[in-house]
Structure 1
């Protein structure tokens, strides 16, 4: 299967789970559907493809480049020089951003933030994961958990 197809399929796979997360009534069932129907398959495919990419068995990095590894900037750049490496890197973002979005939404519900506040934060988690997480943590710290009582969100 061409990498462009895998990339497009992964994007399409994640989208309905983001819509569920954002607009569906929050329940234990909704959370499980997002976790096991959306996040888990993306993580599983990533886990299967990562060793194949890293070993060069699938979509090897060209011999003129540094070997793909996570210990050097050149190694990470080599990984993203291949279509397969970029695709699984994107799947990593999709899975983790959706996981963070699920955590943010559940935590925001717990602390009484309505959807009006959650939707923009979830948008930023979707589009720029760590920025959305930082916005939510800042909101939590300043509104629902003042600095003198701050603790790690649960």
Structure 2
């Protein structure tokens, strides 16, 4: 854990609490004596590492807001974000590129689980690794009903025309 602007060279007593969804204490450690020390990280000249500490800041029915800390190594030019829907039999993938370590990803499906991946790209366009921790976020709301009324109207070697009954939800 990193607490910004905490003076170095001082001993602190730390207690770690693990909270549940409704902020109930699930696990609590006894006090631990800790020192805040300056740590230097050695990076290779052309190395770029993965973004760190990805968090979901806000969830909506059709969007999520994310933030993260920059990589420890590398000069970041941009970040690539991927959200991949985890529902079986559904293909829902979203890609986005941003300059800052935060983003709002929109046009998602309601009540759908997504795996979140973020990686940094340096100024010379070298692509770093995806974040290593599995980040799963679920959008709010009710998932739309799957349409059973699907008709194939036309097909050729290169084209197909499909017709289905549209849902009442404007955003889908």
Question: Which of the five TM-score ranges fits, normalised by the shorter chain?
Answer: under 0.3
TM norm structure 2:
0.22
Q: Which has the higher helix share?
A: 1
Higher relative contact order at CA 8 Å, sep ≥6: structure 1 or structure 2?
Answer: 1
TM norm structure 1:
0.24
Q: Which has the higher strand share?
A: 2
